Structures are given as structure tokens and as C-alpha cells.
Amino acid sequence: MSTTVITGANRGIGLELVRQCIQRGDKVIAGCRNPDEAQELRGLEPANLLAIDVGDEESVRSFSQAIDEQVALLINNAGTSITNLGFQREDVGVMDAPVDLTLDMIRINGLSAATVTRSLSGRFDSGSQVVNITSQIGSMVVGANFNDLPYATSKAVMNMVTVQLATQLKDKGVSVVAFHPGWVRTDMGGSSADISVEESASGILATLKTFPHEDTGAFLRWDGSVHPW
């Protein structure tokens, strides 16, 4: 039974990834900020449910130290938006965005992919995969027209983390992939978004099944198509 680790597992895309990974037979270690409040996640009966705040290095360390087995798949899914941090879109354009907010967002949405991955890197074998759930907004071409500096820069950072991790882990046989999950109906995506969590998660997992290691460092959409940087 192979072990899959998923962050931000208590709701949205993360919760559905947990559901589908358990359904297909993975041993899932689920990470979320408040395990005691994660009733829906508990109901799925993951093998382990651990606390992690991905923006807090000490929390990332404790989370990783509690994992004492080899990890076949790590999904860095946890992420936040400006509304979660108490701001409105009109306050966060490139002409207005508070620097501290932008740095907080980069820490949570971008750098966490590096801190979580490197703290688990001793648990990877040749053939392990690391998935960073980024956003099309982190691409230079799409982000140029999306006037939310904190979110766009945070996902651009995640994209850079993806390609640098891919280079560092390539010779170990570990693949690293960034996925735009689609515009997905979750608390973050809103109810009028394009696709369901089921469609997003199943597309990502199906793409990973046949993902060739030589393509490590790719930026893909949930359906496996290549996303421009």
C-alpha cells in the first residue's frame, strides 16, 4: 500500500483528493490546521490525521517528524486567498497591495511547497511524486491580467519552487509537478466556478498515474494539458 500525504485536507480540493486516494487504496496521511474540527475529513478515515500550518516552519517540522514511512505521493494543496486574510480585491492590486499581506501570502502559498517538500525529502524513493497545487494566476501570461498581487505572486513563487525542486530531486527519481486545478467550486473558487472538486481531483490523479519522470518540472492543468508559464 503506497502512502500519500495531502495538506489542506479538511475541505475543498484537498478533501476530495483524500477521498479519491483512499478509494483507490492509498494509505493517506492528511494534514490540516485544526484536526479536532475536521469532522468531514475524519469521516473518510485517513490512516493518520496530523496538524500542519504550512506557513509556520515549526509546524511543518513537527508534521514531517510524525511521518516515519516512505512517501510515494506528496500533494502540497493547502492555500489561502486575500478574502480569507480579510481583504477585498480592490485593495490588493499592484498599486495598492500591502507589503505585509503579500509576504504572508507568499509564505503560505508559495514557500510552503519548499518547506514541506524538503522536510519530507528523506521519505522519498525513486518513483515518488510531489504535486504543487498552484494556479493559472501564477503564470506570467494569465497573472498579468489578474490584479491581485498577493495571490498572483504567491503562486508565481510556488511555480519557481516547483522547477527548482524538480532540478534538485531529478537524479533521485522524484518527479515534481505544478497543477492548475481548474476554476473549481470550493469556498475559494465560489459556487459559479467551472468544475467540481470531483472532476479536478480525478483529472490530477489520472494524469499522475502516467506522468513520465523525464517531464519533471512541468506546469499542467488538471486534465493533463500543458499550461504556459
Ligand X SMILES: NC(=O)c1ccc[n+]([C@@H]2O[C@H](COP(=O)([O-])OP(=O)(O)OC[C@H]3O[C@@H](n4cnc5c(N)ncnc54)[C@H](OP(=O)(O)O)[C@@H]3O)[C@@H](O)[C@H]2O)c1
Q: How far is the CB of 219 from ligand X (least distance, A)?
A: 13
Can you tell me which of 110, 143, 150, 189 binds ligand X, judged by CB under 6 A? 189
Q: How far is the CB of 144 from ligand X (least distance, A)?
A: 16
Q: Which of 186, 205, 222, 227 binds ligand X (CB under 6 A)?
A: 186
Query: Could you tell me the strand order of the sheet in which 219-221 lies?
Result: 48-51, 27-32, 3-7, 73-76, 129-133, 175-180, 219-221
DSSP characters for 130-181? EEEE--GGGSHHHHTT---HHHHHHHHHHHHHHHHHHHHHGGGT-EEEEEE-
CA atoms within 13 A on the CB side of 168: 12
Site for ligand X in 106-165 (CB under 6 A): 108, 133, 135
Q: Can residue 78 be called a binding residue for ligand X (CB under 6 A)?
A: yes
Phi and psi at residue 74, in whole multiples of 5°? -115, 125
How far apart are the two ends of the chain, measured CA to CA in Å? Answer: 35
Smallest distance, ligand X to C-beta of residue 14, A: 5
- Toward ligand X, which CB reaches closer, 187 or 215? 187
Which residue in 8, 46, 150, 217 binds ligand X (CB under 6 A)? 8
Q: Which of residues 120, 131, 165, 188 is near ligand X by CB under 6 A? A: 188
CA distance 224 to 52: 29
Contact with ligand X (CB under 6 A) among 5, 29, 54, 169 = 54
- Of these, 3, 4, 12, 105, which contacts ligand X (CB under 6 A)? 12
Q: Does 27 bind ligand X (CB under 6 A)?
A: no
How many chain residues touch ligand X (CB under 6 A)? 29
Name the grid cell of 159.
Answer: 511555480
Nearest approach, Cβ of 96 to ligand X (angstroms)?
Answer: 21
Indicate if the alpha-carbon torsion angle 57, 59, 64, 68 is positive or negative: positive
Please report whether residue 79 would count as binding ligand X according to CB under 6 A.
Answer: yes
Q: What is the DSSP secondary-structure string of 24-67?
A: TT-EEEEEES-GGG-HHHHHT--SEEEE--TT-HHHHHHHHHT-
Q: Which of 3, 4, 77, 128 binds ligand X (CB under 6 A)?
A: 77
CA distances to 56, 85, 154, 217 from 186, in Å: 24, 17, 19, 27
Q: Which is nearer to ligand X, 83 or 170 (CB)?
A: 83
Binding site for ligand X (CB under 6 A): 7-8, 10-14, 32-34, 52-55, 77-80, 108, 133, 135, 181, 183-184, 186-189, 193
